[in-house]
Amino acid sequence: MGKKVNWAVLSTGRIAHELGECFAKHPDAVPYAVGSRDLAKAEAYKEEFGFQKAYGSYEEMLQDPDIDIVYIGTPTTMHYENAKMCLEHGKNVLCEKAITVNKKQFEALCALAKEKDLFLMEAMWLPLHPTFKKAAEWIREGRIGDVQYIKAEHTFQHPYDPTDRGFSKALGAGTILDLGVYNFAFAGEMFGAKPEKINMIGRLGPDGADIDSQVQLIYPGGYAIFTMGYTSDTTANTFIAGSKGKIQYNEIYTGAKYVYLYDDRMRIVETYAEPNGWVGLDYEVESVTECIQQGKKMHPVITWDHTLEMFDIVEECKRQMGVDYGEFEAL
């Protein structure tokens, strides 16, 4: 155990509640402060998850000198302004993905974090999850030969609601920013390269958000196809096919409890199970807490370059789909 790290949570929405459940498992990560534009919501969150302080505005919370890091869980279109405000107040930042709506905004945050000598990270916990790391390890060891094809489905069935964050462009809705960032990180790690070509198709909702889509990422030696959406459920299976075997998940890979290794005769030769009974956010809290304890300004795995490479794919997918976020695209 090392130095205690005081965490603050900016916003009390769904994802912030999921994060709040993690602190009891990580004794060095202290649930210290919560800020909301509604003090009653902040107080309720404080009581539910054992935080020490509740604030009725983000600005008031950021005046607290004892905060070590702020987690931002607001809608995507608010991330840039919220993260900028935290950095300007001298606070380290972990911001929910997608960290901004475009690459230009993220570059501006990186410049500000560098100027202020502060930690900044997109909350992309996928590379920290054990089943993801095990699949990548099998590939590095050559257990399935050369990666040739990845297929994954990441979909949910929800009734259309123009005020829901999954459908409202004003809240940063869209498969590209919400689900695509996982897929782009997944494919990049498994192929160990950047895509040479991107093909994106899909369907826009009434306000122009991409509510269903499919993307093909073409790499040297192979390609990946990802199906994403909010209006129908699919199989959720994921497989990585190689020249002498495959890796398969029988559930959505982002939080999979098991991953399976097959040989070239399609026999299961190894099964790996997530060891702690944790969710992805647990691994994120643990890892980021260690970064703050060690005085790091950038996560060693989810680096700024890692996020910038993701944004190169995001921008091309947005262009092909005709998606833009209007006023929220600006600095």
Q: Which residues are within 8 A (CB) of 81 and not within 5 positions of it... i.e. 6 or more apart?
A: none
Instruction: Give the confidence band of 91 by pLDDT, cuts at 50, 70, 90.
Output: very high
d(CA 27, CA 143): 37
* HSE-up (13 A, CA, CB side) for residue 326: 8
92: which 2 tokens?
């380290």
| Per-residue model confidence (pLDDT) at position 261 | 98
What integer is the mean pLDDT of 81-107? 98
What integer is the mean pLDDT of 285-300? 98
What integer is the mean pLDDT of 178-192? 96
pLDDT tens track for 20-49 = 999 999 999 999 999 999 999 999 999 999
Q: Which residues are within 8 A (CB) of 249 and not within 5 positions of it... i.e. 6 or more apart?
A: 131, 237, 238, 239, 256, 258, 259, 260
pTM above 0.95, yes or no: yes
pLDDT tens track for 48-73 = 999 999 999 999 999 999 999 999 99
Q: Helical H runs in the chain?
A: 14-20, 39-49, 58-62, 76-88, 103-116, 130-140, 175, 181-191, 280-293, 304-321
Whether the predicted pLDDT of 309 surpasses 70: yes
3.40.190.290, 3.40.50.720, 3.30.390.10, 3.30.300.20: CATH of 5-123: 3.40.50.720
- 261 DSSP β-pair partners: 247, 270
Q: Which residues are within 8 A (CB) of 49 and not within 5 positions of it... i.e. 6 or more apart?
A: 17, 20, 21, 23, 31, 34
Higher pLDDT, 217 or 157: 217
What integer is the mean pLDDT of 216-227? 97
Lowest mean pLDDT, pick from 157-161, 210-214, 258-262: 157-161
Please state the domain extents for the chain.
5-123, 130-273
Q: Which residues are within 8 A (CB) of 211 and not within 5 positions of it... i.e. 6 or more apart?
A: 160, 166, 167, 173, 174, 175, 202, 203, 204, 205, 229, 230, 231
195: which 2 tokens?
């895509």
What integer is the mean pLDDT of 111-130? 98
Whether the predicted pLDDT of 232 surpasses 90: no
| Per-residue model confidence (pLDDT) at position 158 | 86
Whether the predicted pLDDT of 217 surpasses 90: yes
Fold of 130-273: Dihydrodipicolinate Reductase; domain 2 (3.30.360)
What integer is the mean pLDDT of 182-195? 96
pLDDT, the chain, mean: 96
d(CA 107, CA 280): 26
Instruction: Give the confidence band of 131 by pLDDT, cuts at 50, 70, 90.
Output: very high
Determine what percent of the chain is predicted with pLDDT higher than 90.
Answer: 92
Q: Which residue type sits at 148? A: Q
